[in-house]
Structure 1
Amino acid sequence: MPGWTQQELDELDRAGEVRVAGRRADGSSRSLTIVWHVVVDGDLYLRSVKGPEGQWYRGVAHHHEGFLRWGSTTREVTYTPDSSHDDAVDAAYFAKYGTGSATQSLMKAEARQTTLRVDPR
């Protein structure tokens, strides 16, 4: 599977938010939802602020495939649970979005358990 290009990672790192959606059984896209994201060690990560009960997260977790949009670019992606870089993901969220209550919500245990690595398909 091809990875992100450096140009894509740079664009994603600069983007304030992305839109994500899971894939339905028929291959179509669920509704795109805005989420915060970070780039860590050349990989893209995101979390559900509502934990596993977040609607977009449930949709993504069903097939672990879907779509990611930033700017005018949409890519088909896979979503893989990956807690191996949680501390670095925490630090990246704080560096990108500050230490306010919204970012703090992404550090709660229920949000951390939804850390996903997003890879292009």
Structure 2
Amino acid sequence: MTAWTEDDLTRIGDAEELQVSSYRPDGTLRPFVTIWVVRAGDDIYIRSAYGATNGWYRRARAGGAGRIRAGGVERDVVFADAAVSAGADIDRAYHGKYDRYGPAIVGTVTGPDAATVTIRLLPRD
């Protein structure tokens, strides 16, 4: 695995939305799903707005790798665990970026429940 470049971090972090796909067992990509994305420090995070039963989230966790598109960047990624200590920073990033949509919507990706369904995206060679 490599690290995100500053340009990648900025472009993905500034993108309003991200498209995410996971790999099937045969190596083909599933259809992309559009979700929110945030940057916290030098990391990129996504969360399942509707918990661990959300289809894209289950498939990402089961497969462990996929592909993302955001801000003109398209990369293969590994779906990694987020550090528990990053939860507050990730919440702040979601609030700062998406609060204009209202608390009911932003509440689906912030707080203790959302922290349990957080994925840290790591670029893959």
TM over 0.5: yes
Aligned residue identity for 2:119: L
Contact persistence 1:17–1:70 (CA under 8 A): yes
Q: How large is the RMSD of aligned CA atoms in angstroms?
A: 1.3
Aligned residue identity for 1:88: D
Note the residue ranges of structure 2 that are not aligned, 5 or more in a row.
none
Aligned residue identity for 1:97: Y
Give the match for residue 115 of structure 1: 118
1:50-77: CA deviation from partner (whole Å, max 9, x where unpaired): 1100111011011110010114432100
Normalised by the length of structure 1, the TM-score is 0.93
Report % sequence identity.
Answer: 31
Distance 1:91 1:69 in 2: 23
Give the match for residue 106 of structure 1: 109
CA 84–28 in structure 1, closer or farther in 2 if over 3 Å, else same: farther
Give the match for residue 20 of structure 1: 20
Contact persistence 1:52–1:110 (CA under 8 A): no
Contact persistence 2:46–2:119 (CA under 8 A): yes
